[in-house]
Amino acid sequence: MAEEKLKALTGNLEFDRLIAAFSELRDPAELESARQAIWERFGVEGAVFISDMASFSSTSRKIGVCHFLKLIHRARQIIGPIVDRNKGRLLKCDADNCYAFFEGTDDAIKAAFEISEVLFRHNDEFGIAEQINLSVGIDFGRVLLIDDLEFFGDPVNTASKLGEDLAIKSETLVTERALDTAHFVVPENAERIVARVSDIEIRYVRLPMAGLDGNATA
């Protein structure tokens, strides 16, 4: 059973077999040819959306893991339909993170704003212990998209760093390169930032969300 789990990288047999074969190659020319074949088969361009629940570890320690799992369940029930409505594909949810793919940055931003608005109304109705606070990272670029299962690539890594490491409670951070592909007009009060994470420079914009900086809308 353990060996089967180690072999199944994504659950897509074609992709997993290509990667397994790639891992056995040593010749540089064969490696490059195999790499190109993988990207030609599974490579797509689009927007990567990754959400993270704020203060996962500290909150679960204070209120108990079962209570926090309840909040994770509620958050997923909110995020899923909104991603669908905005032409996105919710690929997976892992603990307090949700991972989605959109063909365009505008749709990803619209989804982030809609989620923010719904959660603002939700949190306004409940006490602190029942509130859900999400941070979101969005990037755009070429990724390996494997069905509705998984994606890999630099935009995934960047969006993850934005949503999980750099964003604080109820923030949406979008890279400059993602905004370059969008029709979205960045609000004047949006903050433009340059950060280095794991020795990688990331240029991004902190977008004002509903209920935090007035009445921001996408």
Model pLDDT for residues 90-99, shown as the tens digit of each residue: 999 998 899 9
Q: Is residue 10 part of a domain?
A: no
Query: Cα 61–63–66 angle (5° rounding)?
Result: 90
Is the pLDDT confidence value at 7 over 70? no
Residue-level pLDDT at 214: 38
Q: How confident is the model at residue 210 (pLDDT cuts 50, 70, 90)?
A: low
> For residue 120, is it within any domain?
yes
Q: Are 173 and 205 in contact (CB under 8 A)?
A: yes
Q: Tokens 């755009």 identify what position? A: 140
Band of residue 130 on the pLDDT scale cut at 50, 70, 90: confident
Residue 88: what pLDDT? 97
Measure Cα distances from 127 to 112, 117, 124, 132, 212 in Å. 23, 17, 8, 10, 17
Residue 25 resides in a domain: no
At 168, the pLDDT band (50, 70, 90 cuts) reads confident
Instruction: Residue 120: give its domain's CATH number.
Output: 3.30.70.1230
**pTM score, whole prediction:** 0.89
Average pLDDT over residues 171-194: 94
Domain count, the chain: 1
Range of the domain at 163: 43-207
> Is 172 within the bounds of a domain?
yes
18 lies in a domain?
no
Cα angle vertex 53, ends 47, 54, to 5°?
120
Token pair for 168: 């604080």
With respect to residue 168, please indicate whether it lies within any of the assigned structural domains. Answer: yes
What is the rounded CA–CA span in Å between residue 163 and residue 85?
Answer: 21
The span from the CA of 101 to the CA of 89, in Å, is: 5
Residue 110 CB contacts under 8 Å (≥ 6 apart), including other chains? 86, 218
Residue 29 lies in a domain: no
